[in-house]
Amino acid sequence: NKLAPIMDGLENLSAQYSQRPEEWVPEAGTFETAKSYREKKAVPLIKKLVQVIFSLHRKYWEMKHDRDKYQSFYRSEKDAIRNLKERLEQAEAENERLYAIKRDFERVWNYFGAKKMNQAIGLMREQEQTAKQDQQENRKNSIEL
């Protein structure tokens, strides 16, 4: 997971700077002037804090970007699942309709018998083939004109 190292770094930073300021702010030396304290201790500490704040800000935006990306991915996956569920429902409805037709066909088959049904099916196939050939010839003739 990409976020684990970032979170560990944030926990370390927050632990380091969550103590009382007296514990991590350097004390002035005995004969140290304000200018020397400022230049040697306060300014470096402030620079370090600014860097920490900038790094926290950058990590915040990285995490926000990752979260937005994952949210977008989650939404698209959710939409895909919804579409698949709708298609499944349609397929199940069509399957049920086809099973009803199959049962009706089996009833007719049983009533007329296999021999008569095969004859009727053969006759219907011949009629369909003849109609298809007639249609192709008509197209061919209309193209030639």
For residue 79, give its domain range. 3-92
- Tell whether 142 is covered by a domain: no
Burial letters 66-99, b for 16+ CB under 10 A, else e? eeeeeeeeeeeeeeeeeeeeeeeeeeeeeeeeee
> Residues near 17 by Cβ (< 8 Å), separated by ≥ 6?
24, 49, 52
- Tell whether 120 is covered by a domain: no
- Tell whether 34 is covered by a domain: yes
- Tell whether 145 is covered by a domain: no
- Tell whether 51 is covered by a domain: yes
Q: Average pLDDT of 32-61?
A: 83
- Tell whether 133 is covered by a domain: no
How many domains are there within the chain? 1
Residue 131 has pLDDT above 90, yes or no: yes
- Tell whether 29 is covered by a domain: yes
pTM of the model: 0.49
What would the 3-class secondary structure string for the chain be?
CCHHHHHHHHHHHHHHHCCCHHHHCCCCCCCCCHHHHHHHHHHHHHHHHHHHHHHHHHHHHHHHHHHHHHHHHHHHHHHHHHHHHHHHHHHHHHHHHHHHHHHHHHHHHHHHCHHHHHHHHHHHHHHHHHHHHHHHHHHHHHHHC
- Tell whether 21 is covered by a domain: yes
Residue 128 has pLDDT above 70, yes or no: yes
pLDDT, tens digit, 9 for 90 and up, residues 66-122: 999 999 999 999 999 999 999 999 999 999 999 999 999 999 999 999 999 999 999
